[in-house]
Structure 1
Amino acid sequence: MTEQFHSGFACFVGRPNAGKSTLTNALVGQKIAIASSKPQTTRHVVRGIITEPEGQLVLIDTPGLHRPRTLLGQRLNDLVFETWAEVDVVGVCLPCDQRIGPGDKFIIQELAKLERRPILVALATKTDLVSKERQLSHLVDVAAVAEELGIEWAEVIPCSATSGDNVALVREKLINLLPEGPMYYPDGEITDEPTETLIAELIREAALEGVRDELPHSIAVTIDEILPRPDRPEDKPLTDVFASIVVERESQKGIIIGHKGARLREIGTNAREQINRLLGTRVHLNLHVKVLKEWQRDAKYLNRLGF
């Protein structure tokens, strides 16, 4: 360990689908946060732990800030504001393939209002989707918005989690901006998320693919039981995972199950591959679908589902 060891907490913020979870996974070097093309995929705070000889960065992936239409939406926004108040550095994700809009400005203005303002870094994400000219034009806009809103970027870094462009630079800069401090987690640990939560999220990610309209927001997943299969040889273990996909209406249950159960089988197949990798053992995944009417608006259901 070097004499000046830096440690602390950082989080990425941005509109939904700005690339926050994908960048978190790229920096950690392993999938800990699910990513999807659907807005508001992230629903809780995920901690990724990055340990280098010069420091330890605890990276907090937060839900996208949005205009809430449900009690769930309001609780997700509250999570974001709570996180901002606690971290040392905030990385504002401003994707290169989109113009800086009112939603981005709202987020930056809210950060500017904080009593204890964290260090602000601009991350021009998704560089792989645009030309060099568009990237340069975007960086000019990123500088202009800071001036307009009366803030200062400690760093402005164009990057792409998908292509790996400047991911190492983002890691290095974030660690350098942290205060001197101790190592919070043992070297080699990459997340403090419980295994059950990670498994539930992988199932939800598989369920989100291919669904449309309002359905993504209506999907939640609970893990009912995880059991090692008895009487298996030591070199060929098998884990039984029993999980429920929760939706809000009977019609949505039909969509998730699909014709003769085809859609549910597809979700199971896709999720099982990821869970096998996560656990390092073969998994038998038993999924069923249940309806909790309007759960996003019901405090009792939200509490039961962990929100």
Structure 2
Amino acid sequence: MAKVATVAVVGRTNAGKSTLVNALVGEKVSIVSPVEQTTRNTIRGIVADPRGQLVLLDTPGLHKAVGTLGTLLNRMARRSAAGTDITCVVFDASQEPQLEDIGWMQRVAKEKPEKVVFVLNKADKSPFFEKMFRDAWQEACGTSGSSELELEKGVRGQSGSSELELEKGVRGQESGVRSQSGSSELELEKGTIPLWVKSISTTEGGAKPVLDALFGFAEEGELLFDEDIVTDYPRKLAIADVIREKYLAHLHQELPHELGIIVKRVTDEGSRWKSEAEVLVNRPSQKPIVIGRSASTIKAVRKAAERELKEVFGIPVSLELWVNVEPNWMKNQKLLSEMGYLGGLV
């Protein structure tokens, strides 16, 4: 029987969660941008593998909440972690631990989930910070009143996985399981809870140790989705995410978090889809930036989004975009609901 698990991919904003999810799934299901807080909804990516199926929830990055939208994003991230079989916490190991990283460690230490994977993402960029993350985890265990020994229960799971031998009582040892790709940089440590994994998700095969770790925790069961499905993310929200991604690429830091997208309707015209979307900004002065001189920006965004949507859905998608000023839209419950933020797990 196949091995199946639901996985919450959590961590602070811009730690590389969406890139990792896309690498695990093998197709693009989450938007990726160097701008922080890119993911705003909880997106389900579905991994089909000879061993079974993993349902990944790519959550908004945990950050210091500002306003209604920020509070909702943090709530969605925490709720995802609480309702899945495995918690996969992604850390940006190219820099020292941040407060949000320590917050996730403290949460894990306090709640003592039996199946946890700590991913040291971008581990190839600076090995110096790995020890700082491990030390921060030990401190989190101390402040929570728990210990690594207490968190060790259930490490092997009921599956007796041959892909990943998770031996009890081997805490702190540096022995590793090499990935099948032969990379000497990608080591999968065994015998610790949480299970520490080094990943270079931007490289081919770089996410394989994470995949092995997750299947090591998965248990036998019935598939949750058909084998040919890679995501059950609603079509309107997927289109909105692609439009946001293209705007982030064009505007960079000019309007990173003050840009909202509402897809009003998607019409199936047989040989193509027609989609109408509203772009929201907070202030009148932002409208010319989003439109661009002679409408150059909005045209470029539309064309780039249409190209990607055709690849994603396998059918031409024509976009009609218009820009409206909606002061404080990030505090407007009705608008946030239209964007899918008030529905919990979308």
TM over 0.5: yes
Write the deviation string for residues 93-146 of structure 1: whole angstroms up to 9, x where unpaired: 1112111122211121123233x6252211111235x1xxx32x3333333222
Q: Match for 1:123 among 119, 125, 141?
A: 119
Q: Match for 1:104 among 94, 101, 107?
A: 101
Aligned position for 2:322: 288
Alignment of 1:40-189 (within 5 A): 40-114=37-111, 117-128=113-124, 130=125, 134-135=126-127, 137-150=128-141, 152=148, 153-189=193-229
Q: CA–CA distance in 2 between the matches of 1:292 and 1:194?
A: 24
Q: CA–CA distance in 1 between the matches of 2:313 and 2:40?
A: 22
Contact conserved, 1:90 with 1:118, CA < 8 A, in 2? no
User: What code does the residue aligned with 1:271 have?
Assistant: A
Alignment of 1:191-210 (within 5 A): 191-210=231-250
Aligned position for 1:216: 256
Q: CA–CA distance in 1 between the matches of 2:66 and 2:333?
A: 14
Aligned CA distance change for structure 1 residues 155 and 66 (closer, same or farther; 3 Å): same
Q: Report the 3-state secondary structure (helix = DSSP H, G, I; strand = E; otherwise coil) of the residue aligned with 1:218.
A: coil
Write the deviation string for residues 42-100 of structure 1: whole angstroms up to 9, x where unpaired: 11110111122322111110001111111010011111111111112112111121111
Query: Greater shift after overlay, 205-214 or 14-23?
Result: 205-214
Query: Greater shift after overlay, 40-49 or 279-288?
Result: 279-288
Query: Greater shift after overlay, 211-220 or 27-36?
Result: 211-220
Q: Report the 3-state secondary structure (helix = DSSP H, G, I; strand = E; otherwise coil) of the residue aligned with 1:285.
A: strand
Aligned CA distance change for structure 1 residues 87 and 94 (closer, same or farther; 3 Å): same
Q: CA–CA distance in 2 between the matches of 1:238 and 1:51?
A: 28
Q: Report the 3-state secondary structure (helix = DSSP H, G, I; strand = E; otherwise coil) of the residue aligned with 1:216.
A: coil
Contact conserved, 2:4 with 2:53, CA < 8 A, in 1? yes
User: What code does the residue aligned with 1:156 have?
Assistant: W
Q: CA–CA distance in 2 between the matches of 1:119 and 1:292?
A: 43
Alignment of 1:5-16 (within 5 A): 5-16=2-13
User: What code does the residue aligned with 2:76 have?
Assistant: L
Write the deviation string for residues 200-238 of structure 1: whole angstroms up to 9, x where unpaired: 1101110112325572211121212222447xxxxxx33
Query: Greater shift after overlay, 40-49 or 6-15?
Result: 6-15
TM-score normalised by the chain length of structure 1: 0.89
Q: Report the 3-state secondary structure (helix = DSSP H, G, I; strand = E; otherwise coil) of the residue aligned with 1:204.
A: helix
Aligned position for 2:284: 250
Runs of 5+ unmatched residues, structure 1: 231-236
Contact conserved, 2:18 with 2:30, CA < 8 A, in 1? yes
Contact conserved, 1:276 with 1:282, CA < 8 A, in 2? yes
Contact conserved, 1:19 with 1:93, CA < 8 A, in 2? yes
Contact conserved, 1:220 with 1:245, CA < 8 A, in 2? yes
Aligned CA distance change for structure 1 residues 81 and 74 (closer, same or farther; 3 Å): same
Aligned position for 1:277: 311
Instruction: State the identity as a percent.
Output: 32
Q: CA–CA distance in 1 between the matches of 2:310 and 2:42?
A: 23
Q: CA–CA distance in 2 between the matches of 1:11 and 1:44?
A: 13
Aligned position for 2:188: none
Contact conserved, 2:237 with 2:340, CA < 8 A, in 1? no
Q: CA–CA distance in 1 between the matches of 2:228 and 2:212?
A: 18
Query: Greater shift after overlay, 202-211 or 105-114?
Result: 105-114
Q: CA–CA distance in 2 between the matches of 1:162 and 1:29?
A: 12
TM-score normalised by the chain length of structure 2: 0.79
RMSD over aligned CA atoms reads 1.9
Aligned CA distance change for structure 1 residues 199 and 300 (closer, same or farther; 3 Å): closer
Q: How many residues in Structure 1 have an aligned counterpart in Structure 2?
A: 292
Contact conserved, 1:6 with 1:176, CA < 8 A, in 2? no
Contact conserved, 2:3 with 2:221, CA < 8 A, in 1? yes
Write the deviation string for residues 139-164 of structure 1: whole angstroms up to 9, x where unpaired: 33333222221164332111122113
Q: CA–CA distance in 1 between the matches of 2:59 and 2:71?
A: 14
Aligned position for 2:293: 259
Aligned CA distance change for structure 1 residues 138 and 265 (closer, same or farther; 3 Å): same
User: What code does the residue aligned with 1:270 have?
Assistant: A
